[in-house]
A = this chain, B = another copy of it.
């Protein structure tokens, strides 16, 4: 049986204020007091893993070891069948651009273009299937851990469509829909997203509810 968090303090291993707020809102109903790794002054470990599970675990473990508290981390990304699962853990790396020195911003349209170019190079019959993954990892200071993996399958379209969402959303059409993630309303996307799927698995296992 999976180790249970119970109630009390939980470190959220993110320096992203928006992500902390979203996760805290989901977990506070279960009596968890969420604190960000950034607020504790913890360093962000390098994401050296080759899978989402490895990256989520190394972030959760680093935060649990440094804080002495249970810690939750996530890792997520998009994988294309024609590219043997890439960009995968390199989802954000492919969007890194050096617009000018000292400004390593992200450009998601550049990243979408790279994905499209790599698939296009394989010819018109290359599969357009892709999936979004979200892995949530909980690590305890004694080394115990739990992992929950969410997934959303779909097809890559071109050119990008829609101005909602984030990342590769404008090229991803979830199965059963005609719109891209960037054309769907946030509530529609949330109902089927990889992130919701992972959180549903976590709360079902940890708190006996979805």
Contact = CB atoms under 8 A, between A and B. Distances in A.
Interface of A: 94, 96-100, 107, 109-122, 159-163, 170, 183
The copy count of this chain in the complex is: 2
Q: Which 6 A-B pairs have the closest CB atoms?
A: A117-B117, A113-B113, A121-B121, A114-B117, A109-B110, A113-B114
Given A107-B109, A107-B113, 8 more contacts: A97-B160, A109-B113, A110-B112, A110-B160, A113-B113, A114-B117, A117-B118, A121-B121
A3 to B, nearest CB: 42
B120 A114 contact: yes
A125 B22 CA distance: 44
B109 A97 contact: yes
A28 B183 CA distance: 49
Contact of A121 (B99, B122, B160, B161): B122
A100 B159 contact: no
